[in-house]
Amino acid sequence: MSPQTTQTTQSTEPIELARHYGTPLYVYDLDRVRAARADLFGWLPEGFEVFYAFKANPHTDLVRALRTGEGPACKAEISSTGELAAALEAGYPGSDILYTGPGKTSGELAEAIGQGVRTFSAESLSDLRHIGETAVAHGTEVDCLLRINSATASATTSIRMTGTPTQFGIDSETIAELAPQLLSVPGTRVAGLHLFSQSNARDEEALIGELTHTIEAAAEIQRELGVPLRLLDIGGGFSVPYAQQGGRDSYPKLRVELEASLDTHFPTWREGTPRLAVESGRYLSGDSGTLVTQVSNVKVSRGKKFVIVDAGINTFGGMSGLGRLLPVSVHVEADAETEKANLVGPLCTPGDVLGRQIEVPAGLASGDLLAIPNTGAYGPTSSLLMFLGRPAPVEVAVAGGEVVSATRIEHVRTPTSAGGRP
C-alpha cells in the first residue's frame, strides 16, 4: 500500500471522509475492531486463544488493533507469504502465527520458518512431510496441527468445510491407520488438531452444536493417535452481517456449553492441557467497515432502474463467485422515501452487480454518495482489484475520532528473476 497524505478532517464519519478522500472509500473503525475482540473473548471460556484469519482483511492497522490495547491479544492465522509479511509488519511474532493452507510450497515454508513461524496446520500426510523436509533443512523442528476432515457434522451453514471429499484436512476415518506415519515425520511434532468445519453459523444453536461436535470428534481422534494433544483449534463460525444492516451475533450460552463439553471430553483442559483456540475473521473485522461509493449515473432500462456507482466487484467482490455477495444494502435515513433499483458497478461486464432490486434512497442522481455497512471483511483483497485496471479504493483507518492512516493498494508491474517469489 502506498500512503496518502493524512490531513485533519472535521469528522471521521464515512460520508464526510469520502468528501475528503474521494470514492470508492473504505473506512475501518478500529474501536469497533477492539470491541469485537473483547466480545469474542467474553463469549469464550477463560483461557481460550483466538486466531484472526487474515484472509478476512489483512489491513495493517486493523490487524495491529487486534493485538494491541486492553484485553487479550489475538494471534494470526495466515496462508501466504503476503499475509506473513502483513502479520510481521503489524508486530505479530512468529511464535503467534499459525500457517495454514492445502498447497504450501517449499519456498513459502522456507520463508515462514526463516521468519520464526513454528506452528503449521498440516492438511495431509504429504503436506506434513513437506513441512518436515523444510524444517530439517533449516535445522529445526516445528509443531504441526493435523487438520481433520470430519466424516460427520452437526450444523448446516453457509459454507461447509467437512464431510465431503476436499483438499482440506485428513479424512477422519483414516487417522487410526495413518497414525504411525503421522507421528514419525522428521522435523515435525504432532502438537494437536485443527478442525474447521463451518463459516458464518446461522445462529447460536448451530454454532454450539458444531463446536461441541468438534470437541467430541477431537477426543476420539486423540484416542486413535495415542498421544495427548497440546493444542486444539476447534475452528469458528462466528457470524456478522455481510454488507447488510445489522449487528454482530451474540453468544450468551456458548461459554457454559463449551465448558461442559470440554469437561466431558478433555477433563484436564482447565489446567491448560490441551490449550484451546478458535479462529475468526469476519466476526472480528466485519462490522468495523463502511464502503462509501458515489453514484456515476442513473438510467432506466425496460422499466427497471439502474443506479451505477464507482464501486464494483473490483472494489467489493466479496468472493462473489461463491454466491456470498448479493444483495448488499445501503444506508437510508429513517423515514426517508425509498425506491427499488439495481445497484451496479462501473465495469464492462454484466456480472458487475452489487444488488438487484434493493431499497435505495428515492431520486438518486450523479454525485450522490451511498454507504454500504458491515464491509470490514472480504473487501478489497477478495475483490477483482486488477480487473480493467481501475485504481484500488482508498482505505482509511480511524480510532478515537481521528484518522489513523489513509492508504491505497497500488498495482505495479516490476521485473522479476526466474521463478519469481515463492
How many other CB atoms are there within 10 angstroms of residue 185's CB atom?
20
**What CA–CA distance (Å, rounded) separates 34 from 206?**
25
pLDDT at residue 416, as a whole number: 84
Residues of the chain with CATH 3.20.20.10: 100-280
Residue 157 — pLDDT band, cuts 50, 70, 90?
very low
User: Has domain 100-280 been given CATH number 3.40.50.2300?
Assistant: no
How many other CB atoms are there within 10 angstroms of residue 365's CB atom?
9
Q: Cα separations (Å) of 275 from 47, 101, 120, 128, 191?
A: 8, 21, 15, 21, 10
Whether the predicted pLDDT of 169 surpasses 90? no
More confident residue, 199 or 40: 40
pLDDT at residue 380, as a whole number: 94
Residue 173 — pLDDT band, cuts 50, 70, 90?
confident
Residue 168 — pLDDT band, cuts 50, 70, 90?
low
Mean pLDDT of 27-42: 98
pLDDT at residue 322, as a whole number: 52
Residue 3 — pLDDT band, cuts 50, 70, 90?
very low
Q: Cα separations (Å) of 73 from 36, 82, 248?
A: 12, 21, 20
Q: Above pLDDT 70, what percent of the chain?
A: 91
Residues of the chain with CATH 2.40.37.10: 2-26+287-408
**What CA–CA distance (Å, rounded) separates 370 from 361?**
9
Find, among 104, 111, 109, the residue nearest to 126 by Cα. Answer: 104
- Using one digit for the tens of pLDDT, what is the confidence trace for 57-85? 999 999 999 999 999 999 999 999 999 99
* pTM for the model: 0.92
pLDDT at residue 166, as a whole number: 62
Residue 214 — pLDDT band, cuts 50, 70, 90?
very high
Mean pLDDT of 187-194: 97
Q: Cα separations (Å) of 203 from 50, 238, 305?
A: 20, 9, 35
Alpha helices in 226-316 (DSSP H): 254-265, 282-285
- Using one digit for the tens of pLDDT, what is the confidence trace for 292-301? 999 999 999 9
Whether the predicted pLDDT of 5 surpasses 60? no
3-state secondary structure of 126: helix
When mean pLDDT is compared over 200-204, 220-224, 322-326, the highest value belongs to: 220-224
Residue 172 — pLDDT band, cuts 50, 70, 90?
confident
Q: How many helices (H) and strands (E) does the chain have?
A: 10, 20
- Using one digit for the tens of pLDDT, what is the confidence trace for 367-413? 999 999 999 999 999 999 998 999 999 999 999 999 999 999 998 88
Whether the predicted pLDDT of 163 surpasses 50? no
The mean-pLDDT minimum among 6-15, 56-65, 112-121, 208-217 falls in 6-15
Residue 327 — pLDDT band, cuts 50, 70, 90?
confident
- Using one digit for the tens of pLDDT, what is the confidence trace for 94-133? 999 999 999 899 999 999 999 999 999 999 999 999 999 9
pLDDT at residue 398, as a whole number: 98
**What CA–CA distance (Å, rounded) separates 309 from 369?**
9
Residue 171 — pLDDT band, cuts 50, 70, 90?
confident
Contact partners, residue 287, CB within 8 Å, separation at least 6: 32, 36, 240, 241, 247, 248, 373, 374, 376
**What CA–CA distance (Å, rounded) separates 193 from 367?**
52
Level-2 CATH architecture, domain 2-26+287-408: Beta Barrel (2.40)
Q: In the chain, what is the greatest distance between 2 CA atoms, to the nearest angstrom?
A: 69
3-state secondary structure of 312: coil
